[in-house]
Amino acid sequence: MLTREYDIVIIGSGAGGGTVAQELAPMVAQGVRILVLEQGARLEEHEYTGRELDMSAALYEDGGGFLTADGTMTLAFGRAYGGSTVVYTGTTLIAPDRVIREWCVPGLDHADIERRSRKFMAQNDVHFLPRVLLNDNNKLFVTGCARLGARAEQFPLNLRGCKGSSLCNLGCPNAAKMGTHRVQLPNAERQGVEVVTRAEALRVEERLVVARVHAARPGEKGGDSTWPPGDYHISARMVIACGGSIGTSALLLRSDATKSIRRLGERFTCHPAHILVAEHEREITNDVGHPKSYYLDRAEHEGYVLETCMYFPFITAKNLTGFGADHSTLMRAFPRLQMILVLACDKAVPGNRITVDATGKAVVHYRFTPAVIRSLVSATRMSARIFFAAGARCVHAPSADPPLIERERAYRLDDLIVEEHFLPGRISISAAHLMGGCAMGPEGSGVTDSRGRVYGVPWLRVADSSLFPDSVEVNPYQTVMALADRVAEGIRDDWTK
């Protein structure tokens, strides 16, 4: 066993870990030794090829195919230098005031989240895309909404030099997306924070991280780790868990020192989502241009959000219900396809939680509540209306049987798209907004306080999406950064005491 000694060890380098690393980096000048451990690899620029199979294998946990315990939902999360920010789409929203109030976390208020979010929005060049860069897929969404009297809103995006390759979720080949791998981690490294990739934290002990550095496999993307492969005992005065909702929860659940923390793994939410597809008569620009520029927010009253989206052939094929000739016909219409992502704003409920199996691997238990099913079904109906209003000739609705609805039957949407056809295991459901597991809250009901201090474990902090006590009902990364910034501030204050 090799040994190393640091003052602060940050586990994970995504939205949370990258932010904490940057915000603590000035402490290096005062002699504080800071290390980031990231289990994923650091890719070279030329390795971002946009190829579906290679990039999914290189950048996602389980190649993007991580399934919930009963196999009915796919959870997508990144595993790389930069975490999920390498594969996110870059839509940047501030958590709504209403949600932060409902979270009821003592000491946390909306003004604080907003102020910190704005700081990172400025740092990450968040802006609206000029309309010349909008593709038909996005424009048709706006048109469809407008014809129904609904107002689609434009997403602020954190891009610098976007070429419109539409490959965001496979890692940007143009270094245009301002994830933590582009901004916060390089900032931290310039100030002396050490980042070690391919370094998996196996468990935490009191003021100690046990980690394994893996060798790169032949042909695998990403350079070797800067540390030789092997097992390490890394001592630290403070450990900050930033492995993401699932990564952090699993790490703490498999560590003897932390596994008995009350409420650990609970309050998991994820904005379960469907990809909906419609076919137009003519070709549209869909696989060129930024994929996600508009959304329709129906979270507060109807429990869903619709977003524009565009996926790659395999992901599209997987998300269409059915198989055989009808499925192939729709796939062959690819250049005429319009897509909408529908997301349900799920609520934390008992039973939806993260545990670990005998080997310490994360297991996510998730059941679709009646409210989530209702939201997804009514979001699907609304999307179908938008598609038809935008001129689509047919719509593929997973919760219809058969799923393909021709324009002539559009007047019957309420009868065709019904909860009865929402059959988990038959239809594809996925989620990329993973939240909770180490929820903030008052002592007794939360795992941490509002600064990520884990109750009863003075050497441990959490600074990632696992802190969310419930779903945030908007795209979450900006809120993760704002919370991580609070945690870092708390550490700086405590350090001098």
Partner 1 sequence: MSESVLAPVQATFRAVAETVVPEAASLRPEAWRELEAVVESALASRPETMRRQFVLFLRLIEYLPLVRHFRRFSHLSADRRTTVLHGLESSRHLLMRRGFWGVRTLVFMGYYTRDDVQGALGYRAHPNGWSARRTTGEMRAAAAEPFGEELRDA
Ligand X SMILES: Cc1cc2nc3c(=O)[nH]c(=O)nc-3n(C[C@H](O)[C@H](O)[C@H](O)COP(=O)(O)OP(=O)(O)OC[C@H]3O[C@@H](n4cnc5c(N)ncnc54)[C@H](O)[C@@H]3O)c2cc1C
Q: Which residues bind ligand SF4 (CB under 6 A)?
A: 159, 162-168, 172, 174, 176-177, 290
| Beta carbon of residue 364, minimum distance to partner 1 (angstroms, whole number) | 15
Q: Half-sphere exposure (CA, 13 Å, Cβ side) for 425?
A: 4
Binding partner selected for residue 159 from partner 1, ligand X, ligand SF4, none, CB under the kind-specific 5 to 8 Å limit: ligand SF4
Helix (H, G, I), strand (E, B) or coil at 288: coil
| Beta carbon of residue 200, minimum distance to ligand X (angstroms, whole number) | 4
Nearer to ligand X, 198 or 381 (CB): 198
347 binds partner 1 (CB under 8 A): no
Closest CA to 271 of 295, 240, 241: 295
| Beta carbon of residue 480, minimum distance to ligand X (angstroms, whole number) | 4
Nearer to ligand SF4, 42 or 292 (CB): 292
424 binds partner 1 (CB under 8 A): yes
| Beta carbon of residue 316, minimum distance to ligand SF4 (angstroms, whole number) | 17
Structure tokens at 446: 């939360």
Nearer to partner 1, 322 or 490 (CB): 322
Structure tokens at 69: 């315990």
475 binds partner 1 (CB under 8 A): no
Structure tokens at 212: 């394994």
385 binds partner 1 (CB under 8 A): no
| Beta carbon of residue 56, minimum distance to ligand SF4 (angstroms, whole number) | 14
Measured distance CA(319)–CA(429) in Å, rounded: 8
Are 14 and 84 in contact, with CB atoms under 8 Å apart?
A: yes
Structure tokens at 187: 């900032």
Q: Mask: binding to partner 1, 309-338, rule CB under 8 A, as x and -? A: ---xxx-xxx---xxxx-xx--xx-xx---
Residue with tokens 């003021």: 207
| Beta carbon of residue 424, minimum distance to partner 1 (angstroms, whole number) | 7
Length of the chain: 497
| Beta carbon of residue 291, minimum distance to ligand X (angstroms, whole number) | 10
Nearer to ligand X, 184 or 383 (CB): 184
Nearer to partner 1, 140 or 482 (CB): 140
Total residues contacting partner 1 by CB under 8 A comes to 61
3-state SS of 337-367 is EEEEEEEECCCCCCCCEEEECCCCCEEEECC
| Beta carbon of residue 390, minimum distance to partner 1 (angstroms, whole number) | 10
What residues does 211 pair with on adjacent strands?
201, 232
Nearer to partner 1, 147 or 237 (CB): 147
Nearer to ligand X, 216 or 410 (CB): 216
| Beta carbon of residue 16, minimum distance to ligand X (angstroms, whole number) | 3
Are 246 and 362 in contact, with CB atoms under 8 Å apart?
A: yes
CB neighbours of residue 147 within 10 Å: 14
| Beta carbon of residue 471, minimum distance to ligand X (angstroms, whole number) | 11
Measured distance CA(116)–CA(309) in Å, rounded: 28
Number of H helices, E strands in the chain: 13, 25
Q: Mask: binding to partner 1, 276-315, rule CB under 8 A, as x and -? A: -------x-x-xxx----------------------xxx-
State the residues that interact with ligand X by CB under 6 A.
11-17, 37-40, 76-80, 83-85, 87-91, 169, 200-201, 242-245, 247, 251, 432-433, 464-465, 475-478, 480
Are 211 and 10 in contact, with CB atoms under 8 Å apart?
A: no
Closest CA to 86 of 124, 46, 127, 48: 48
72 binds partner 1 (CB under 8 A): yes
Binding partner selected for residue 388 from ligand X, partner 1, ligand SF4, none, CB under the kind-specific 5 to 8 Å limit: none
Nearer to partner 1, 260 or 328 (CB): 328
63 binds partner 1 (CB under 8 A): yes
Closest CA to 479 of 459, 494, 464, 461: 464
Measured distance CA(290)–CA(129) in Å, rounded: 9
Are 21 and 15 in contact, with CB atoms under 8 Å apart?
A: no
Q: Considering only residues 129-158, where is the footprint of partner 1 by CB under 8 A?
A: 130-134, 139, 142-143, 145-147, 149, 151-152
Closest CA to 488 of 453, 454, 459, 458: 453
428 binds partner 1 (CB under 8 A): yes
Binding partner selected for residue 226 from ligand X, partner 1, ligand SF4, none, CB under the kind-specific 5 to 8 Å limit: none
Backbone angles phi, psi at 33, to 5 degrees: -95, 120
Measured distance CA(266)–CA(350) in Å, rounded: 7
Nearer to ligand SF4, 60 or 368 (CB): 60
- CA dist 311 to 50, 227, 290, 315, 408, Å? 12, 36, 11, 6, 27
Closest CA to 305 of 465, 177, 88, 472: 472
Nearer to ligand X, 244 or 469 (CB): 244
Are 313 and 334 in contact, with CB atoms under 8 Å apart?
A: yes
Measured distance CA(24)–CA(195) in Å, rounded: 13
Residues at the contact surface with partner 1, assessed by CB under 8 A: 48-53, 62-63, 65, 70-72, 130-134, 139, 142-143, 145-147, 149, 151-152, 162-167, 173-174, 283, 285, 287-289, 312-314, 316-318, 322-325, 327-328, 331-332, 334-335, 401, 423-426, 428
